[in-house]
Amino acid sequence: MSIKIGILGYGNLGRGVESAIKQSDDMELVAVFTRRDPSTLTINTPTAKVLSADDLENMENDIDVLMICGGSATDLPEMTPKYAAKYNVIDSFDTHARIPEHFANVDKAAKAAKKIGIISCGWDPGMFSINRLYSMSILQDGKDYTFWGKGVSQGHSDAVRRIDGVKDCRQYTIPVEESVNLVRSGSNPELTTRQKHTRECFVVAEEGADKAKIEEAIKTMPNYFSDYDTTVHFISEEEMARDHSGLPHGGSVIYTGKTGEGNKNTHVIEYKLTLDSNPEFTGAVLVAYARAAYRMNQEGTSGAKTVFDIAPAYLSPLSGEEIRAHYL
Amino acid sequence: MSIKIGILGYGNLGRGVESAIKQSDDMELVAVFTRRDPSTLTINTPTAKVLSADDLENMENDIDVLMICGGSATDLPEMTPKYAAKYNVIDSFDTHARIPEHFANVDKAAKAAKKIGIISCGWDPGMFSINRLYSMSILQDGKDYTFWGKGVSQGHSDAVRRIDGVKDCRQYTIPVEESVNLVRSGSNPELTTRQKHTRECFVVAEEGADKAKIEEAIKTMPNYFSDYDTTVHFISEEEMARDHSGLPHGGSVIYTGKTGEGNKNTHVIEYKLTLDSNPEFTGAVLVAYARAAYRMNQEGTSGAKTVFDIAPAYLSPLSGEEIRAHYL
């Protein structure tokens, strides 16, 4: 019997989730739910329906896990608790400061409905978080570093697009290799924002726009760019389409810790992701956690959970005997 | 209130566990238990006792978790089930083919006693296993590779020491860098044993021994060396003591998987350990899982477990709120 999945929202992440379900023999995409007019949407799964988000009012018997792929950070604080009152849900909420509040809201709704809500799933928060936690739990005298990239930051690309005279932009976040190597050496450096990452922007300017002014506006933009060394390249629309249509990303969590008499021994733990498609990988993580949510809920577990609360075995479609035989 | 720990066996691993307990504010080493005469043993924790293994017959009220640090692979199949009948236990059993049988024996004993027995803990099996499982659960269309080293293999060092005319040996297992890079590229190569690792031996020969004969005996030794490119260096006892007294190890699990239409996108997940001291890191992993065993048993869980069955949050001394705030 397949786990029946619904996807709410069909942007990059929703399509990434759909792609991962296709690779999962134990799952079936029942429907994509949209707040737009369903007739305007074409999806990649011929056997699944496109329905209105309003239809979620009474589909409790048709959906085992609902993937909340809301379009923006502002959607999820409202959506995830709302649907946790009816469905097992998964989201990728990543506004760090608001996680305690979001966790509490989802927990309340999910517990009342005897459902599970797994929040902040993906790779950061998500797989990177797990690696930080495992490492600090093993080596208590240590320090963690996170580097992102090389990859496209959609938030930064959007910020540049809002500048006058900019038609399109792709912004890459790039870790500073010397700093990564310094961390790997176990020397526990203190690194400034500027020392950890650089930023590279590929910009299509409107015809006749003042490129020097655009470059200045980018490089001095507070929060987004002013604390970084930023490079700006002006390119044509054709070059943008040809060379920058993908959404690669990745990064690494590096943890260094000491043990032994006089802390003489250094250990380095590095977890590194190199992803051709950020939304497809994130979608695949969400789908693995949907499997966990379903199975834990079947066992009677309810409430809000994060990746920290889920034993690895729940993510695998294989049995305990099989994973001990093949992966231990 | 501290978690009260006992260590059974005081070899390299027992001392590694002791070292990790010193770094754990929530734990206390109660005693080291030995099958030797306790008066012959000096330990590094002044507040802990050295007792005979026989004393474990009646110390159920003094020990929360017993770390089974038996001296050899043949000890654990007998020891771990025996003590799981009285204590929460942790071991590092790594004879892969016998894990199902060992798991069943520990499960039976632990369930009857309402205790937990976590088997096959450490970094491989252990942290490497977790990473193989997470990766294959996320990217179901993929392949995992494990490389070990550079590090000292104690089994191979011992095998060389048994050769006539050999006084001492240290054997390093070294991953073949070109193969590691080939895997990282996402090309999913088929690699032979010889293509994955080389072996390097530092040998102290007895006076007058036939070095050419020793080198030949090493390089042609079945299972241990004959399938590898092996380099042999003869060194003095002084050089051995000066340059090869440590027990460094490490390695990496690299998983490559595909997603998207026509499998066009490749993702690479790499988990890499670089350890100055294999027994101290392994001991630190065991201690983190001792914390988990204690807490899960307090909640009423019993039976045999592996690292696959333990949610990451149980390993951390911090509360759920704290880990969500600091590590998510």
Q: Do A284 and B309 touch (CB under 8 A)?
A: no
Average pLDDT, chain A: 96
- Give which of B85, B88, B2 is closest to B48, Cα–Cα: B2
Q: In terms of CA atoms, which chain B residue is nearest residue A184? A: B274
Residue type, A128: F
| % of chain B surpassing 70 pLDDT | 99
β-pairing, A265-275 vs A249-259, is antiparallel
Q: Residue B274: which of A44, A261, A268 has the nearest Cβ?
A: A268
What value does the mean pLDDT take over residues A125-153?
Answer: 97
Q: Do B265 and A277 touch (CB under 8 A)?
A: yes
pLDDT of residue A217: 97
- Give which of B45, B47, B49, B51 is closest to B20, Cα–Cα: B45
What value does the mean pLDDT take over residues A132-139?
Answer: 98
Determine contact, residues A194/A226, Cβ cutoff 8 Å: no
Distance CA A24, CA A51 (A): 22
Enumerate residue ranges in chain B where pLDDT < 50.
none
Burial A277-303 (b: 16+ CB within 10 A, else e): bbbbbbbbbbbbbbbbbbbbbeeebbb
pLDDT of residue B71: 67
Neighboring chain B residues of A273 at a CB cutoff of 8 Å = 267-270
Q: Which tens digits make up the pLDDT trace of A13-57?
A: 999 999 999 999 999 999 999 999 999 999 999 999 999 999 999
**B206 to chain A, minimum CA–CA distance in Å?**
32
**B217 to chain A, minimum CA–CA distance in Å?**
33
A71 pLDDT band, cuts 50/70/90, is: low
pLDDT of residue B70: 86
Neighbours of B252 (CB within 10 A): 22
| % of chain A surpassing 90 pLDDT | 95
Distance CA B328, CA B313 (A): 11
What pTM does this model have? 0.96
